[in-house]
Amino acid sequence: MRLVTVLLLLVLVCLVAGARSGKKQRQERSQRRNKLNSVIHFPGGCKEYVENGDKYLDCQDCQLTAVLLGWPEDIDHLLLAQNRINVLRDKTFSHFHNLFTLDLQLNEISLIEEGAFSGLSKLTTLLLQHNQLQFVSEAMLIPMPRLRHLRLHDNPWTCNCQLDSLVRFLQVPSNRYMGNFAKCAEPTDLWGQKLKNMNPRLLCLPRMQSQFLLPRHHSESSLLCDTQDSPKPLVDCRGRGLKVVPPDIPENTVKMDLAFNNITELKPKEFVNIKDLKLLNLSSNGLRSIDTAAFAGLLHLRELDLSNNSLHYFNYGVLEDLYYLRTLYLVGNPWTCDYNIHYLIYWLKHHTAVEHTGLVCSEPEEFRGWSVESYVKTYNDECPKGMQLDLHRTGTTDITSQELIAEIGEDPDLLPSPLQNKEHKLEEFKIFRLN
């Protein structure tokens, strides 16, 4: 009997010890999870977080001009997009030995010293698009033997002998994912040629100071326009009585002026072949309607002038391709302040970097002279409760039905990668039918 009692006591002790051990392990796992999911802040406004086991340092849009001291060195991905960096000195990243991705797009980089990327032996992805680079050499890439993805487009590459080694490197068959869309900006006779496809022997040919222009085939409408190939391709069709957008505008056009014509509508894909366009003036045309796909392909457009036309609202989706738009002129249009105008305000609300002017209600009479933003705010504030959808969203307040429609149609995967905001994802919602 005494033996049985001893055995029972031993079993009880083991059970208690096991329970305590299990509780301790659960606490340790919870602490590890909390540590992994936490966000740590560093100098310059940078944030460190862990996602899918990889460690990120996110320094996007922090107005940085250089890489700062005090950043963690064991990170896997360094995001420096949308800053003001203009020079990369030797050994700038030499202490980030674990880096797989380095994102430097949308800066002001004009100079990269040959040893800037020394120490990045594990790097596989380097993003340098949308900068001010004119020359780099193949020597810059030597410290990165595992590099597989290199983005160089939207830089003003000067295609001469200084670029010879880079062009030949990009054209090696094994480098098929490197520099695919980079193009020459100078000299004039090589403007628009892809570095990936051009003949490298053209880079070192002696050139005359004045360039000759190759003949082009023109439609009757484009014959009315003036073209200028140097220093940048411009097309001036101002005040030529045009009723349609000319169909054969040179593909490398950067600026296009179509003001003071009679173009009353824009059809789908009017500018799809002019992918380098940065400024488009369509003011004073009597423009009444714009197709949803009219601006398809204008991924680099910075300035759009639609002033002094006959626009009442924008169809949903008209502005979705204009990722890098910075200025939008809208004054002098008879904006109708009703439900159709909400898309334009929704888009502007979610693209705060875009400067815009001229959004004033013309009709109906009760809102004439109001700013369109004020009208939309009043609409959302005063809409009778019985007319609103009963929206139940986890962790947020109610939103307007217009915003809900727009969110349903917006696919975050279409945003330029890796500029997607990883922290703010669309929340779940339910829609209840009203009786």
Interval 210-227: pLDDT, tens: 332 333 333 444 446 777
Where b means 16+ CB within 10 Å and e means fewer, 64-96 reads: beebeeebeeebbbbbbbbbebeebeeebbeeb
What's residue 25's pLDDT?
60
77 beta partners: 56, 101
- What's the rounded mean pLDDT across residues 289-312? 92
- Structural domains of the chain ordered from first start: 40-202 (3.80.10.10), 221-381 (3.80.10.10), 387-432 (no CATH)
Helix (DSSP H) and strand (DSSP E) numbers for the chain: 6, 24
Q: Is the predicted pLDDT of residue 116 greater than 60, yes or no?
A: yes
Interval 74-84: pLDDT, tens: 999 999 999 99
CA angle centred on 54, ends 51 and 55, rounded to 5°? 90
Q: Is the predicted pLDDT of residue 386 greater than 60, yes or no?
A: no
- What's the rounded mean pLDDT across residues 291-318? 91
**Per mean pLDDT, which range of 11-15, 48-52, 410-414 is the poorest?**
410-414
Q: Which of 103, 185, 80, 190 is nearest to 150 (CA)?
A: 103
CA–CA separation, 286 vs 282, rounded Å?
Answer: 10
Where b means 16+ CB within 10 Å and e means fewer, 203-229 reads: beeeeeeeeeeeeeebeebbeebebeb
- What's the rounded mean pLDDT across residues 245-258? 88
CA–CA separation, 300 vs 35, rounded Å?
Answer: 40
Looking only at the bridges linking them, the beta strands covering 335-336 and 361-363 are: parallel
Interval 169-202: pLDDT, tens: 999 989 988 998 899 988 877 888 899 998 888 8
**Per mean pLDDT, which range of 310-319, 343-352, 374-383 is the poorest?**
374-383
Q: What are the φ/ψ torsions at residue 236 (nearest 5 degrees)?
A: -110, 105
Q: Is the predicted pLDDT of residue 8 greater than 80, yes or no?
A: no
Q: Is the predicted pLDDT of residue 13 greater than 70, yes or no?
A: no
How confident is the prediction for the chain on average, in pLDDT? Answer: 78
Q: Which of 291, 281, 293 is nearest to 242 (CA)?
A: 281
CA–CA separation, 425 vs 407, rounded Å?
Answer: 11
Q: Which of 321, 290, 293, 292 is nearest to 306 (CA)?
A: 290
Count of CA atoms in the C-beta half-sphere (13 A) of 87: 3
Which of the two residues, 166 and 396, has the higher pLDDT score? 166
Q: Is the predicted pLDDT of residue 406 greater than 80, yes or no?
A: no
CA angle centred on 363, ends 357 and 364, rounded to 5°? 140
Q: Is the predicted pLDDT of residue 318 greater than 80, yes or no?
A: yes
What's residue 392's pLDDT?
32
pTM passes above 0.85: no
Task: Outline where 182-286 has alpha helix (H).
Answer: 220-223
The answer to whether 189 touches 211, Cβ cutoff 8 Å, is yes
